[in-house]
Structure 1
Amino acid sequence: MDLEAVRTFAAVVEAGQFQKAAADLSVTQQAVSKRIAALERDLGVRLFTRTPRGVEPTIDGQAFLPHARDLLRVAERAVASVRTDRRPLRVDVINSRGAASGLLRDFHRAYPETELDVVMLLDIETAVAALRSGAIDATFRAVAAPGRPFPEDIASVRVLDEPLELLTGPDHALADARSVRVARLAGHRIWMPGIVPGSEWAAYYDDLVAEFGLTIEATGPNFGSDALLDTVADTPALATFMGGHTRLVWPAGHGLRRIPVTDPTPVYPHSLLWHRDNPHPALPALRAHLAGATAGHDAAGTWRPDWVMPR
């Protein structure tokens, strides 16, 4: 069914005259007549009857009118769903408790009028494919892992260097330390079951292990952060790494400790990625907000892998 003919039908009903409907639609009266005739042929009914003042819908026209209006509303919503000036900004934050989620919440507080769709994608290949297809407008990632050339059609800006912290239970040997030098962690068991082989964070921790001679265990099923916190709290021999901006809540009886790591402080580099041709009007505001709200990168006394892009 021709939507322009349906729109013309609704306009004629509203105007009560072909001539006035033509003026409202900025077309000729002949075009209106042709559209209505074509619609009547498609439906197999007469839609209008002539009156001394113009036209009015027949019984069939009256029956068709609410459905015609529904069709036009659905069409408008369909168009609006793909118009970047009318749809929310879709941003991937990987998970709800991490630093990227906090950065996006800060943006929402600064720009509450900007509608957001928050999504959570796991691996970078899925995120980049979503950027290219338009399924998302931006994603937070570490750029770029070794052996993975950065796509030319994807732009990025480094937005946050997140310091790592050591998370221990109350009976761990380092539990009472105000800070711990990274070299002192050699020989301690650091358990991180959430590391996914081939992911950006796996590449990051591989380099961290190689640089400082650490032992990171990724064995066992990943039951999520709550199960990780339970195990660390109850196992004096285990600790884990946690991003300094990661938001976690645990039972008071766990007695967990978050201990800064120093000399140097390993930082996890978060970048914002987007497609270079993305026209969403809110995207520049997000980039500008992140550029103004985050501290400088590669500060003295910090470490990050050599493959991380400097900006």
Structure 2
Amino acid sequence: MDLDTVRTFVAAADAGQFREAAAELGVTQQAVSKRVAALEHGLGVRLFARTPRGAELTIDGQAFLPHARELLRVAERAVASVRAGRRPLRVDVIASRGAATGLMRDFHRAYPGTDLDVVMLFGIETALAALRSGTIDASFRAVAMPGRPLPEDIESVRVLDEPLQLLTGPGHALAAARSVTVAQLAGHRIWMPGIAPGTEWGAYYDDLVAEFGLTIEATGPNFGSDVLIDTVADTPALATFMSERTRLVWPAGHGLRRIPVTDPMPVYPHSLLWHRDNPHPALATLRAHLAATGAGHDAAGTWRPGWVLPR
């Protein structure tokens, strides 16, 4: 149903005259007559009876009028739902306990009036498809994986280089160390069941292993961080990598240690991705906030894979 004809019908019903309706709508009286006639033809009924006093609603016109008003209200709500700045900014943070979630919490505290929807998508291909379809407005990722350059319509900016730490239980051989070098980790079993082949974090740890000769085991089902830290706490032979800003809570009896890694310090790069044609005003606000509050990257003494985009 053509909403212009419905809008014209309501204007004519309210004015009681086609001439006044035409003036209100900024069209000719003939245009009003044609639109009403088209609507009547489509409905198969007469909506107005022409009288010397103007145009009066027929019984069918009276029945249709409240529904016509509701159609226009629904149309206005539909337009408002996608009008720039009226819908929440949708951002993919990958996981609830990671650094990206912390960055978005900081943004929300700085801009509490900005409506946000936070989602968690698994792989970068899924995130890219969501950005290109408009399902999300932005995504935090490590870009770009080897052999997978970003599409030309996707923009990115580095926002954080996050140091890795070694997480051990109290019985681990390195538990008492204030820091450990990458070379000291050679020969130790580092258990990370959350590494999935084909992901950007999988590519990151593949390069870390190849560069420094480490032993990372991704065996066994991934039951989440709670089971991971329980196992590490109880198994002196196992350690795991944990990003510096990953938020974890564990029982005091676990005696877990978070130990900085140095010489060089491995850092996990976080970039913000978005579609270059995305008009959401809060996206620009988020980018400016991250630029103003973010730490520098590629600092001396740090390591990250060579495929990570420099910008």
Amino acid at match of 1:229: I
* Distance apart, 1:78 and its partner CA: 2.9
* Distance apart, 1:51 and its partner CA: 6.4
* Distance apart, 1:53 and its partner CA: 5.3
Task: Tell me how far apart the structure 2 counterparts of residues 106 and 14 of structure 1 sit (CA, whole Å).
Answer: 51
Amino acid at match of 2:106: D
* Distance apart, 1:56 and its partner CA: 4.3
What is aligned with 1:232? 232
> Identity of paired residues, percent?
83
* Distance apart, 1:196 and its partner CA: 0.9
Task: Tell me how far apart the structure 1 counterparts of residues 177 and 56 of structure 2 sit (CA, whole Å).
Answer: 85
Q: Which runs of 5+ in 1 are unaligned?
A: none
What is aligned with 2:88? 88
What is aligned with 1:111? 111
* Distance apart, 1:262 and its partner CA: 1.7
* Distance apart, 1:112 and its partner CA: 2.3
Task: Tell me how far apart the structure 2 counterparts of residues 16 and 172 of structure 1 sit (CA, whole Å).
Answer: 87
SS at match of 2:121: coil
Matches within 5 A, 1:40-55: 40-49=40-49, 54-55=54-55
Matches within 5 A, 1:266-277: 266-277=266-277
1:263 paired with 2:263, answer yes
Matches within 5 A, 1:1-311: 1-49=1-49, 54-311=54-311
The alignment yields a C-alpha RMSD, in angstroms, of 2.0
Q: Structure 1 length normalisation: TM-score? A: 0.92
Q: Which moves more between the two structures, 138-147 or 167-176?
A: 167-176
1:2-37 CA deviation, whole Å, 9 max, x = no partner? 111112222223333322222222112221222122
1:255-287 CA deviation, whole Å, 9 max, x = no partner? 322222122211000111112222222222211
* Distance apart, 1:214 and its partner CA: 1.1
May I ask how many residue pairs the two structures share in their alignment? Answer: 311
* Compared CA separation, residues 16 and 233, structure 1 to 2 (3 A): farther
1:228-254 CA deviation, whole Å, 9 max, x = no partner? 222222222211111111112223333
* Distance apart, 1:138 and its partner CA: 1.5
SS at match of 1:282: helix
* Distance apart, 1:296 and its partner CA: 0.9
* Distance apart, 1:52 and its partner CA: 6.7
1:42-62 CA deviation, whole Å, 9 max, x = no partner? 222222345675444333223
Q: Structure 2 length normalisation: TM-score? A: 0.92
1:200-249 CA deviation, whole Å, 9 max, x = no partner? 11111011111222111001111222222222222222111111111122
* Distance apart, 1:83 and its partner CA: 3.5
Task: Tell me how far apart the structure 2 counterparts of residues 117 and 172 of structure 1 sit (CA, whole Å).
Answer: 41
Task: Tell me how far apart the structure 2 counterparts of residues 280 and 169 of structure 1 sit (CA, whole Å).
Answer: 46
Amino acid at match of 2:61: G
Task: Tell me how far apart the structure 2 counterparts of residues 227 and 55 of structure 1 sit (CA, whole Å).
Answer: 75
Amino acid at match of 1:116: L
SS at match of 2:159: strand
1:67-123 CA deviation, whole Å, 9 max, x = no partner? 222222332233334443432222211112111111122222222222222221111
Q: Which runs of 5+ in 2 are unaligned?
A: none
* Compared CA separation, residues 226 and 53, structure 1 to 2 (3 A): farther
SS at match of 1:222: coil
SS at match of 2:160: strand
* Distance apart, 1:197 and its partner CA: 0.3
Task: Tell me how far apart the structure 2 counterparts of residues 16 and 118 of structure 1 sit (CA, whole Å).
Answer: 50
Q: Which moves more between the two structures, 296-305 or 228-237?
A: 228-237
* Distance apart, 1:140 and its partner CA: 1.0
Task: Tell me how far apart the structure 2 counterparts of residues 58 and 167 of structure 1 sit (CA, whole Å).
Answer: 78
Q: Which moves more between the two structures, 42-51 or 239-248?
A: 42-51
* Distance apart, 1:173 and its partner CA: 2.4
Task: Tell me how far apart the structure 1 counterparts of residues 255 and 62 of structure 2 sit (CA, whole Å).
Answer: 71
SS at match of 2:167: strand
Amino acid at match of 1:127: A
* Compared CA separation, residues 52 and 102, structure 1 to 2 (3 A): farther
Task: Tell me how far apart the structure 1 counterparts of residues 30 and 200 of structure 2 sit (CA, whole Å).
Answer: 63
